[in-house]
Homo-oligomer: A and B are copies of this chain.
């Protein structure tokens, strides 16, 4: 492996593992050059590549810093740049519908590729935008990966945002589907049974362990994703 790739992955690992947290300062180029016994150009190439990927931000004179995480922003950004609804002036709140600690069932365990008896926190949450239900969030948090979730009530901070603070920088996989609303979903979203809904499923890992698995169900008549997508490798 080349030196600059080595530097790149070293720093990426420190960030993804949570060793270096958002806002932390990264050693300046000449320090890293000394550490890796290479020229400043080589360090610069690695840091520029990290900046390109949005993992760090670089500013002259002040140095390079771990950027704010982007994982949940992927979808939030897509949502935000919706062609139809401008974010400005929209009022968002949420309610916790259910919160319980239990163990992962057989079927779900298989779906998540996690052990069947793993302890989890199961959350159900309703998002309301401009007074109308906008999404049901059904979430599983792996308690061995995020033990502090056990004590958190999520009364004042949405689970997604809380996790972002707690476990910044992780990898995620998304699935987007269209599903018909079942009776319960329809009731909660104040829509008709059978109504087309947009479902977004996201599984998030940190260091190879599942952190959370979440499904957002949006009423089809009040929601869409818009944007310029690029699928990435892996």
Integer count of this chain's copies in the complex: 2
| A178 touching B194, Cβ below 8 Å | no
Complexed CA–CA distance, A231 and B197 (Å)? 22
A65-98 CB contact bits vs B (8 Å, 1 = yes)? 0000000001101100101000000000000000
15 contacts between A and B (CB under 8 A): A52-B52, A74-B229, A78-B229, A174-B226, A174-B229, A175-B225, A175-B226, A177-B223, A178-B197, A179-B220, A180-B194, A180-B196, A196-B197, A196-B220, A228-B231
| A228 touching B180, Cβ below 8 Å | no
| A174 touching B227, Cβ below 8 Å | yes
* Beta-carbon contacts under 8 Å, A192-215 to B: 194-199
Main secondary structure of the interface of A (DSSP, over half): strand
Check if A176 is an interface residue, CB within 8 A of chain B: yes
Check if A17 is an interface residue, CB within 8 A of chain B: no
- Knowing that A178-B223, A229-B232 are A-B contacts, what are 19 other residue pairs whose CB atoms are under 8 Å apart, sorted by A's residue number? A74-B230, A74-B231, A83-B175, A171-B228, A173-B227, A174-B227, A174-B228, A174-B229, A175-B224, A176-B226, A177-B225, A178-B198, A179-B220, A180-B194, A180-B195, A195-B196, A196-B220, A227-B232, A228-B234
